[in-house]
Amino acid sequence: MFKPKVPHPTDQEIQEICQIINETLGFNYTSRKKYLIQNRLNRHLLRLGLDNYHTYLALLRKEPQERNTLCELLTTNVTYFFREPLQFEYLAQTLLPSLSKEKKGTRKIRCWSAGSSSGEEAYSIAITCRETLGSGWDLKVLATDISSTHLTLGSEGVYPREKLESVPEKLRRKYFRPHEAMKEHYYIIPELRKDIIFRLANLLEEDSLPRRVRVDLIFCRNVFIYLSKEARTQILNHFYSRLNTGGYLFLGHSESIVSAAEPRWILLGKSVYKKR
Ligand SMILES: C[S@@+](CC[C@H](N)C(=O)[O-])C[C@H]1O[C@@H](n2cnc3c(N)ncnc32)[C@H](O)[C@@H]1O
């Protein structure tokens, strides 16, 4: 069968695509990403009825929505429930007991899953808080991402059975139910789903969240690895101003803040930082 093909993009075209991604998301993409770019974009071009990168770039220059689609296609959205479980144990055993003492007056805890993808991290935070704090707390987890597709998946809260493998059995039974219409899928119980607010927001754009938003915990894991040094610095400043004093920042286990240059953050271990 004849399969339509898109000719390879030129080096200049790859550079222009990298530039759009880097400017929009703060990434560090170079022409070394050529194969990833082609892999992810060729089919998209054909879907759009385009057979070359020259025309695609012309479309990107004039259509802001197409730039968003490009960003969605070139980012990695892999995530799972209770990813890096040691951090969740640390949250439950050490940080929440001390935070709950500080907050016993208001009994209000605000969290932010920044770069949430399809919501597994946000739900894992909410479950950990509920399990540790018990009832009677005003808990909200803000989940933000640039991918509207993944935010929609998160707000629907329906996941295939294999996604639940990293959820301990007891929590699976408590917070998930088999979906009646979708075989082998489970939905998050509404009481938990209402703890999460999903919102489209670019971490580079501080005003994509209302000014008043302040939180006690930020999880921004497996996002920094893609970012340039300048973007990381800008986002750390943003996090610093959004965190309440004494609040905590969780990065991915391979990500860190160079603490000598950042005296405002205290490293607690396991890529967890406390705001001074
Ligand atoms: C690899 S996933 C990590 C998901 C989750 N935090 C985890 O650790 O499992 C990275 C997510 O960050 C999002 N992302 C990347 N750059 C972003 C930016 N500048 N603003 C907001 N979200 C961004 C991507 O769309 C993607 O969903």
Q: Does 172 participate in catalysis according to the annotation?
A: no
State the alpha helices, DSSP H only, in 103-177: 120-133, 148-156, 169-175
Which of 74, 108, 128 is the last residue in one of the domains? Answer: 74
CATH number at residue 69: 1.10.155.10
C-alpha closest to that of 219 among 160, 165, 271 = 271
Tell me the C-alpha distance between 240 and 248, whole Å.
10
Q: How many domains does the chain have?
A: 2
Which of 74, 99, 127 is the last residue in one of the domains? Answer: 74
Asked if pLDDT for residue 273 goes beyond 70, the answer is yes
Same domain, yes or no, for 29 and 91?
no
pLDDT digits (tens, 9 = 90+) for 171-224: 999 999 999 999 999 999 999 999 999 999 999 999 999 999 999 999 999 999
Residue 6 lies in a domain: no
- Tell me the CA–centroid distance for residue 219 and ligand 1, in Å: 11
Same domain, yes or no, for 161 and 221?
yes
Cβ of 76 below 6 Å from ligand 1:
yes
**Considering the entire predicted model, what is its pTM?**
0.96
pLDDT digits (tens, 9 = 90+) for 128-138: 999 999 999 99
Token representation of residue 272: 């967890």
Q: What is the pLDDT of residue 33?
A: 92
Question: What size, in residues, is the chain?
Answer: 276
Same domain, yes or no, for 189 and 111?
yes
Token representation of residue 262: 């950042």
Which of 74, 105, 122 is the last residue in one of the domains? Answer: 74
Question: Mapping DSSP to helix (H, G, I), strand (E, B) and coil, where does residue 35 land?
Answer: helix
Q: What is the pLDDT of residue 270?
A: 86
Same domain, yes or no, for 108 and 209?
yes
Q: Which is catalytic among the residues 83, 110, 130, 145?
A: 145
Asked if pLDDT for residue 2 goes beyond 80, the answer is no
Residue 123 lies in a domain: yes
Residue 80 lies in a domain: no
Residue 158 lies in a domain: yes
Residue type, 134: G
CB atoms within 10 A of CB 48: 14
pLDDT digits (tens, 9 = 90+) for 38-61: 999 999 999 999 999 999 999 999
The pLDDT confidence band at residue 7, using thresholds 50, 70 and 90, is confident
Q: What is the pLDDT of residue 95?
A: 97
The CA-based angle 38-43-48, given to 5 degrees, is 120
Same domain, yes or no, for 60 and 111?
no
User: Looking at residue 7, what DSSP letter applies?
Assistant: P
Residue 218 lies in a domain: yes
- Tell me the CA–centroid distance for residue 133 and ligand 1, in Å: 27
Same domain, yes or no, for 33 and 102?
no
- Report percent pLDDT > 90 for the chain: 93
Same domain, yes or no, for 132 and 37?
no
Domain enclosing residue 247, as ranges: 85-275
Cβ of 153 below 6 Å from ligand 1:
no
- Tell me the CA–centroid distance for residue 98 and ligand 1, in Å: 28
Same domain, yes or no, for 96 and 68?
no
Question: Mapping DSSP to helix (H, G, I), strand (E, B) and coil, where does residue 30 land?
Answer: coil
Cβ of 118 below 6 Å from ligand 1:
no
- Report percent pLDDT > 70 for the chain: 97
CATH number at residue 254: 3.40.50.150
Same domain, yes or no, for 190 and 150?
yes
Same domain, yes or no, for 114 and 227?
yes
Q: What is the pLDDT of residue 263?
A: 86
Q: If you average pLDDT over every residue of the chain, what do you get?
A: 95
pLDDT digits (tens, 9 = 90+) for 74-130: 999 999 999 999 999 999 999 999 999 999 999 999 999 999 999 999 999 999 999
Give nearest CA residue, ligand 1 atom 8.
221
Residue 3 lies in a domain: no
Residue 99 lies in a domain: yes
Q: What is the pLDDT of residue 219?
A: 98
- Tell me the CA–centroid distance for residue 50 and ligand 1, in Å: 28
Same domain, yes or no, for 224 and 257?
yes
Q: Which of 22, 116, 145, 254 best tests ligand 1's pocket when mutated (most atoms within 8 Å of CB)?
A: 145
Residue 5 lies in a domain: no
